[in-house]
Amino acid sequence: MFLTDEQKAILDGEKGETLSKVMQSVIRYGELFGADKLIPVTSKYNHLVTSFGLKALGPVYELMNQLIEAGAVSGQKFSADPRPLDKKVPKNFLQNFIFNKFMYSRQDFYEGQLQKLGLMEKDAFTCACYLDEVGNKPEKGDILSWSESSAVVYANSVLGARCNRNSGIIDIMGSIIGYVPHFGLVTDEGRKATWIIEIKTTRKPEAQLLGSAIGMKVVEDVPYIKGLDQWIGSELDDAACTYLKDFGAACASNGAVGLYHVDNLTPEAKELGESLIKEGAQVYVIDDAELQRIYDSYPVIWKDADAKPKLCFLGCPHMTMEQLKSWTDRLEAALKANKHKKVAVPTVFTTAPAVLKAFEQTDYAKRLKKMGVVVSYICPLMYMNNPLCGKMPVITSSNKLRTYTTARYYTDDEILAQISGRKD
Ligand code: F3S
């Protein structure tokens, strides 16, 4: 790999042994993927995927300590993925015991380390760090050192920033050293599409199902999606961005997509159009029947497939303000129609702490609380990782949560029917 004199000097230890090791790690990582050089990280902030103080992560705490002691902290402040615990989220005595004793017992300690390393602010814990309320929103063309898959795919596709699907810890190393390896999605060539997706549905496709279908088909390739603008428009307004957030997270978790282009909508597709499509690209047509096939293919892994849901999670990735408000309106109307005052299934909406703070200033927050919905900053996946929580029948409209846990997927409309107690 080509290195500049400055990079060689860091590697040779001119800035200390710790920085030299960080540089070695980033170089080795890049070499594995055939990177030809290192390029500067240009975003204002970084984002870290490792946000949880899991008892078993001893080596991570040791590494962080070494970095702090050597003063090898990043010039970039950073946000981090969501916290794994929130007192507001329902749990029983035993589940709570497991969380605090065996799982996230190092949370406070680890958060202390993150603050020393440069956490943006005390509450900068969310996977949707690019939301306006949070403020970690890269510019088009920015080079990032992120690894949270849902944030990487959003930054690449919706914001036009450039980032590979890095792994945890490599994210902070790239930020500390100020360089990332030049390969894959940070290159012009790596951003070209090898799949054309033709949307031929008769109604707006469910974002989470469409993302799942595309993710499973193209796996880690770049898709160019045609025909979606007829359903979500040709402007990146709040509704379109929210749709793409959920769509992208499903692509990134049901497959390993790090970038997609939507014809006539996402920045690079608007600028470069079909010249982004590589010669010989494969074609995948998605119609109503294909989405139904995907939905029907999801396995039900509950012990009792007919069990009554004990908990519902919405907001993986974290909800936007627009989602919180529209869900409040829809739920209120559905409960009224079903002659109920409160949700029929304990329900948790998850969002970024900064969005939660702003939401609580609105009348919507009171209305949602009255209906019995908890709004939390938790990561539902980290909640479900507790074996006793994993045994519970939990429902969600998140395809990421469905993929990684025992939670059962339903469309937004089906979730609404269940939590509003509709009798069919
Ligand atoms: Fe975010 Fe946790 Fe889901 S990090 S995308 S809420 S799994």
Mutation test residue for ligand 1: of 83, 377, 401, 406, the one with most atoms within 8 Å of CB: 401
Model confidence over 305-332: pLDDT tens digits? 999 999 999 999 999 999 999 999 999 9
User: Residue with the nearest Cα to atom 2 of ligand 1?
Assistant: 379
In angstroms, rounded to a whole number, what is the distance separating the alpha carbons of residues 72 and 113?
Answer: 13
Q: Is any atom of ligand 1 closer than 6 Å to the C-beta of 137?
A: no
Q: Is the CB of 211 inside a 6 Å radius of any atom of ligand 1?
A: no
Any atom of ligand 1 within 6 Å of the Cβ of 407 = no
- Summarised one tens digit per residue, pLDDT across range 281-302 is 999 999 999 999 999 999 999 9
Q: What is the pLDDT of residue 424?
A: 65
Q: Band of the pLDDT at 181, cuts 50, 70, 90?
A: very high
Q: Taking the CA atoms of 398, 403, 409 and 413 in sequence, report the sign of the dihedral they define.
A: positive
> Do 146 and 155 meet the contact criterion of CB atoms below 8 Å apart?
yes
pLDDT attached to residue 138:
98
Share of the chain above pLDDT 70, in %: 100
* Cβ atoms of 151 and 379 closer than 8 Å: no
Q: Which tokens hold the place of 212?
A: 């799942």
Number of H helices, E strands in the chain: 19, 13
| Alpha carbon of 276 to ligand 1 centroid (Å) | 30
> How far, rounded to the nearest angstrom, does the alpha carbon of residue 271 sit from its chain's CA centroid?
26
Question: Which of 83, 376, 379 is the best mutation target for the ligand 1 pocket, counting ligand atoms within 8 Å of the beta carbon and taking the most?
Answer: 379
In angstroms, what is the span from residue 84 Cα to ligand 1's centroid?
A: 10
Amino acid 74: pLDDT: 79
Neighbours of 297 (CB within 10 A): 10
The predicted-structure confidence for 220-258, as pLDDT tens digits, reads as follows: 999 999 999 999 999 999 999 999 999 999 999 999 999
- What pLDDT is attached to residue 334? 97
- Does residue 389 have its Cβ closer than 6 Å to ligand 1? no
pLDDT score, position 122 = 81
pLDDT single digits (tens) 40-70? 999 999 999 999 999 889 999 999 999 999 9
CB 295 within 8 A of CB 209: yes
Residue 84 near ligand 1, beta carbon < 6 Å:
no
Supply the pTM of this predicted model: 0.97
Q: Is 81 in the pocket of ligand 1 (CB under 6 A)?
A: yes
Distance (Å, whole) CA 214 – CA 222: 10
Sheet holding 223-226, edge to edge: 261-262, 223-226, 193-199, 277-286
pLDDT tens for 392-416 read 999 999 999 999 999 999 999 999 9
| Ligand 1 geometric centre to CA of 308 (Å) | 24
Tell me which of 165, 378, 381 to substitute to probe ligand 1's pocket, judged by most ligand atoms within 8 Å of the beta carbon: 381
- Res. 418: pLDDT tops 70: yes
pLDDT (0 to 100) of residue 121: 86
Which of the 8 DSSP states describes residue 409?
A: E
Residue 160 has pLDDT above 70, yes or no: yes
CA separation for the pair 102, 56 (Å, rounded): 9
Q: Is the pLDDT of residue 17 over 90?
A: yes
**pLDDT tens digits, 258-274:** 999 999 999 999 999 99
Shortest-distance Cα residue to atom 5 of ligand 1: 317
Cα(97)–Cα(87) distance, integer angstroms = 12
Give the position of tokens 């080509």. 2
Which 8-state DSSP code applies to residue 246? H
Give the number of residues written for the chain: 424
- Whether the bond into 309 is cis, omega within 30 of 0: no
Residue 224, beta-bridge partner list: 196, 261
Calpha distance 115→352 (Å, rounded)? 18
CB 114 within 8 A of CB 13: no
Q: What's the whole-number average pLDDT of the chain?
A: 96
Q: Is the CB of 380 under 6 A from ligand 1?
A: yes
Between CA 229 and CA 199 the distance in angstroms is: 10
Which residue do the tokens 């509450």 mark?
A: 123
Residue 75: pLDDT band (50, 70, 90) is confident
Looking at ligand 1, which atom is closest to the CA of residue 317?
5
User: Does residue 379 line the site of ligand 1, with CB under 6 A?
Assistant: yes
Per-residue model confidence (pLDDT) at position 38: 98
Looking from the CA of residue 249, the nearest atom of ligand 1 is 5
Residue range 188-200: mean pLDDT, rounded: 98
Q: Which residues 6+ apart lie within 8 Å of 289 measured at CB?
A: none
In the structure encoding, which two tokens stand for residue 116, read together? Answer: 């020393």
Strand intervals (E) in 76-184:
78-80, 179-181
